[in-house]
Chains A and B, each alone.
Chain A
């Protein structure tokens, strides 16, 4: 897998030491380690995050450095653990709760949606819930229907939550530290296929702002909006299309809520064609929101072709690899769809 080059992340200042490479998982681990060091209020909770180091080994070694008081294995009790995290956040701590898979956060929907998201507003702004919920997402590992979901859009539908989904190691670290600084609840989604992706990550703590997208490839003919694994897939597709003379711009959303509408609108005004690529089911997914947002915006008048959504198939993620692959957009699908779009006129 090729990491997006730092040079293509445009907006990001590249700090000294940025040539050091870490994997996505290592970048997250470094962010958590630095946060645990810097702030006594920070602690980690989750299933098998201590001795085992987490199902995807993201917290590996943190127990040895910070002990069981700050790297806490929970029983298999997602709803209870989420509520405990919310309560601890209300009472002065800064918990990070890892769900072993995003699918299991559905067991904690009550605390995330009814409590964490609403407490500040319901209480008249009198308190905050500074909690970070981390979760591995997405398909591609043969996890099948209950271990492969991409339900980001569900959370992005809830006022009071922020939803972050990094696409590379640099952003993973910077967004996680930003999420920890944030006084409100942040859903932090990590695509499983990205954990091993390597890329430049500065050692000193830094923040990537929540709510700011990045133009990761400049182009003039088609705008692709993507997040997580779909960013690297879109970049690969863009490289294929470049050889055919089609010039694609790729926007990495980085945050699904709040959505960086400005960056998307500006890009669409320039390219006049928009395609949204996302792994979750196409219907009512994040692409639907982006398409509607553009339809309502000043960019609508600039469109030279109908907006195109390339989302996941309308199925639970199947197990068999042939079906699993067919269930979510792959590089070839993105390239083919973008080519069609580039040649289309209203």
Chain B
């Protein structure tokens, strides 16, 4: 087979919801209304979590940096919707959304973000390193592309152990220019590993646009070089993401190896807290604000009779309350004890596997 990137829907001109095809997305027949409503709730949890993080920053309460994923919620939740707790993900510096999508507790996440002892990493990791290993999240990563080969390794372990699971790795468009990306895709391909590469192309790596950094038009075009399908998805459509990942999971489970999915999306906020947005226009940002992935999913759910407007509102309010409680939990939590600094460097002898 000679896979090429298929332009499923040109993301720059993503169709407004009213123009969507009448036949329902596959996700709507695979997942129950309750599961889909949980997905909506996760999108709201992500949005609120990021807003709470931003708010804490603006009030001078945060330490370190943070990378917000507002605008990319569909990509995270859609990709994780077909995954179970025994499937793995690896994430990035922009990882709050992936973490919530994979099932993490926002309270322990916010505590980690705030450097508290009750956080997922006991305050050792912070925003860029939140890991929820019990739920299959092998961690956010401060190193661009650092998680890509790790996901391939998790997939190798899945294969060696004869498990039915997959590993899915998130990374940005910028990461596709690291050697680790190319080496990892090649290894995954020759060994036919059950791994799904999800490139969240939000048009910029920090200030560097894809036009200035990428030798190809689409990251998915690179799949050809590694003999795997390269699929372009409208990353602001939760169902498009879920459908693409379901197909990739089937391929992986059939022993056919990896898939590269390019989720075309947009980061609404700056790269990190120090960004002055000198590299893009206000108009461009506003045009993407108008394609809000949460609104789109809500409209879709309502149109297909999977939720009512009232239910959506209740879901949103529940998410808001949950994040408010998460912030409170974090605020009430203790800081780590400095005397405890050495804990965690090595595995204690009695805990060795």
A→B interface (CB under 8 Å): 47-48, 50-52, 55, 73, 75-80, 103-104, 107, 141-147, 313-316, 318-323, 325-327
Contact = CB atoms under 8 A, between A and B. Distances in A.
Given A73-B208, A104-B143, A326 B123 contact: no
B115 A145 contact: no
Interface string B150-170: 000000000000000000000
Main secondary structure of the interface of A (DSSP, over half): loop
Given A47-B206, A319-B115, A322-B336, A144 B214 contact: no
A314 B345 CA distance: 8
Interface string B107-142: 000000001100001011111110000000000011
Given A76-B144, A107-B178, A318-B124, A142 B64 contact: yes
Given A314-B345, A322-B338, A147 B142 contact: yes
Given A73-B208, A145-B129, A323 B336 contact: yes
Of all A-B residue pairs in the complex, the 5 with the closest CB atoms, nearest first, are: A142-B64, A319-B126, A146-B142, A320-B115, A320-B123
Given A51-B279, A320-B335, A144 B126 contact: yes
Given A47-B208, A52-B206, A104-B143, A319 B64 contact: yes
Interface string B171-189: 0001101110000000000
Contact of B338 (A52, A142, A323): A323
Interface of B: 63-65, 115-116, 121, 123-129, 141-146, 174-175, 177-179, 205-208, 212-214, 274, 278-279, 335-338, 340-342, 345
- Looking at A51, A80, A323, A326, the one whose CB has the most chain B CB atoms below 10 A away is A323
14 contacts: A48-B206, A76-B175, A78-B178, A79-B179, A104-B143, A104-B144, A142-B115, A143-B65, A314-B342, A318-B124, A319-B127, A320-B123, A322-B123, A326-B338
Given A76-B208, A79-B179, A323-B338, 8 more contacts: A75-B205, A77-B178, A80-B179, A146-B142, A147-B65, A318-B123, A319-B127, A323-B340
Nearest to A108: B179
A76 B124 contact: no
Contacts of B128: 144, 146-147
A76 B336 CA distance: 34
Given A318-B123, A319-B115, A313 B207 contact: no
A75 B338 contact: no
- Looking at A314, A318, A326, the one whose CB has the most chain B CB atoms below 10 A away is A318
B143 A76 contact: no
Contact of A141 (B64, B116, B125, B145): B64
Contacts of B335: 320-322
Contacts of B125: 144-145, 319
Nearest to A77: B177
Nearest to B212: A73
A16 to B, nearest CB: 36
B341 A327 contact: yes
A125 to B, nearest CB: 31
Nearest to A78: B178
Contacts of B115: 142, 319-323
Contacts of B214: 75
A144 B336 contact: no
Contacts of A318: 123-124, 336, 341
A75 B212 CA distance: 8
Given A52-B279, A77-B177, A103-B143, A319 B129 contact: yes
Given A314-B345, A315-B345, A325 B338 contact: yes
Nearest to B215: A75
A173 B153 CA distance: 45
A315 B278 contact: no
Contacts of B177: 75-77
B126 A320 contact: yes
B44 to A, nearest CB: 27
Nearest to B205: A76
A146 B126 contact: no
A79 B177 CA distance: 11
Contacts of B207: 48, 50-52, 73
Contacts of B141: 146
A75 B145 CA distance: 13
A142 B115 CA distance: 9
Nearest to B214: A75
- Looking at B127, B206, B341, the one whose CB has the most chain A CB atoms below 10 A away is B341
Contacts of A107: 143, 178-179
B167 to A, nearest CB: 21
Nearest to A81: B177
B142 A144 contact: yes
Nearest to A141: B64
A323 B116 CA distance: 11
B207 to A, nearest CB: 4
A224 to B, nearest CB: 23
B166 to A, nearest CB: 26
Contacts of B278: 51-52
Nearest to B125: A319
